[in-house]
Amino acid sequence: MPLIEFTDKGLYCRAGDFYIDPWRPVDKAVITHAHSDHARWGNKYYLCHHDTRPILQQRLGPNTYQDIAWNEPVYMNGVRITLFPAGHIIGSSQVRIESNGEIWVVSGDYKIENDGISGQFEPVKCHSFITESTFGLPIYNWKPQTEIYTDVQNWIRKNQEVSKTSVLIAYSLGKAQRLLHPIAEVTDKIFVHGAVYNIHMALVNAGWKLPAVQRVTPETSKEELKGAVVIAPSSAEGSPWLRRFAPYEIGICSGWMQVRGNARRKNADAGFALSDHADWNGLLQACRETEAECIYATHGFQAVFTRYLNEHGINAKEVKTEYGDDELEPAELKLEED
């Protein structure tokens, strides 16, 4: 029996009797990160990184949580579990599992570039590596984030010159926080949507030092919004909620913006290919550095990615999971206002 099985409830470790990011309720769940397609409601026990816990609590309410540091072992039925930074969002971790000398690593979602808040992705040597492949095509190679930040900043300045509000569409957990520092270099007028605000406050209350933001409320005046930046989740796109910001320009921050057609389909004024996922070269680098004997590729372009790996002498298989495409906001975080 392999150390991790792919079951209809999720990735299951029989030897330790626990699941990793299960998509149906189970007794014991190890959580890679707090995005809703990975950390679901209804488990009896959640094990996660220290930084993930406050967000899980904010999202899922009271539950049995255990939080640990990176590289701090926990044992379940003699199976050794440790977490390592995945660089995806705050608290995101790879899960390393060791039993009788066999080592598996579940990547969760990850990116290689250090964004300054999520920790530096750390390659972990293992026998089997389960990797995401959201952007597993060679057309997805990101520009260095500093260049993208400069693009975003220039865009904001251009909007300020004509007294327009800059509305940035970004995932409320992860990209919204990542954007705060580069935005704060241009303006201190940062407004956020309620969904972004809730996560922001959960992090601030947990001790995170982030640039100050204000929640958009019905009382927020037109005058305050002139030249300001608003961060909102993608559920706000095309919604009446945006009307209060007129005149505004809308910019979408997502790896999918790499392809022009996607930006045009969304009717965005600007698209910034800023992603919290590894690009093509990042995925390849991560897979090589694990030195794994077998790579399992899931959610994304897994068929393409595994074929390429196999042609390049790396044994790879595709597996189906029920994780979503979290470069787009899941339905759960719908507008709380209006």
Residues that bind another protein (CB under 8 A): 137-139, 141, 143, 147, 256, 258-265, 267-271, 301, 303-304, 307-308, 311
Choose between 288 and 307: whose C-beta lies nearer to another protein.
307
Choose between 118 and 258: whose C-beta lies nearer to another protein.
258
State in angstroms the smallest separation of the CB of 31 from another protein: 25
Choose between 116 and 138: whose C-beta lies nearer to another protein.
138
Residues facing residue 248 across a β-bridge: 165
State in angstroms the smallest separation of the CB of 250 from another protein: 9
| Cis amide linkage into residue 247, ω under 30° from 0 | yes
Choose between 112 and 213: whose C-beta lies nearer to another protein.
112
231 φψ region: left (φ > 0), alpha (ψ -120 to 50), beta (else): beta
Choose between 18 and 305: whose C-beta lies nearer to another protein.
305
State in angstroms the smallest separation of the CB of 259 from another protein: 5
- How far apart are the C-alpha atoms of 56 and 60, rounded to whole Å? 6
- Structural contact between residues 305 and 277, judged by C-beta atoms closer than 8 angstroms: no
Choose between 25 and 247: whose C-beta lies nearer to another protein.
247
Residue 159, Cβ neighbours under 10 Å: how many? 22
State in angstroms the smallest separation of the CB of 137 from another protein: 5
E strands, the chain, are 5-7, 10-13, 18-20, 29-30, 46-49, 65-68, 74-76, 79-85, 93-99, 102-106, 128-133, 165-169, 190-192, 214-215, 229-232, 248-253, 270-272, 294-300, 316-318
Instruction: Write the CA distances from 322 to 92, 215, 282, 300, 319, integer angstroms.
Output: 18, 33, 23, 11, 10
State in angstroms the smallest separation of the CB of 126 from another protein: 26
State in angstroms the smallest separation of the CB of 23 from another protein: 14
Choose between 104 and 323: whose C-beta lies nearer to another protein.
323
- How far apart are the C-alpha atoms of 182 and 179, rounded to whole Å? 6
Phi then psi for 208, rounded to 5 degrees?
-75, 135
- How far apart are the C-alpha atoms of 165 and 252, rounded to whole Å? 14
State in angstroms the smallest separation of the CB of 164 from another protein: 12
CA angle 108, 113, 115 (to 5 degrees): 90
State in angstroms the smallest separation of the CB of 303 from another protein: 8
Choose between 39 and 270: whose C-beta lies nearer to another protein.
270
- Structural contact between residues 220 and 214, judged by C-beta atoms closer than 8 angstroms: yes
State in angstroms the smallest separation of the CB of 15 from another protein: 32
- How far apart are the C-alpha atoms of 318 and 299, rounded to whole Å? 9
Choose between 203 and 295: whose C-beta lies nearer to another protein.
295
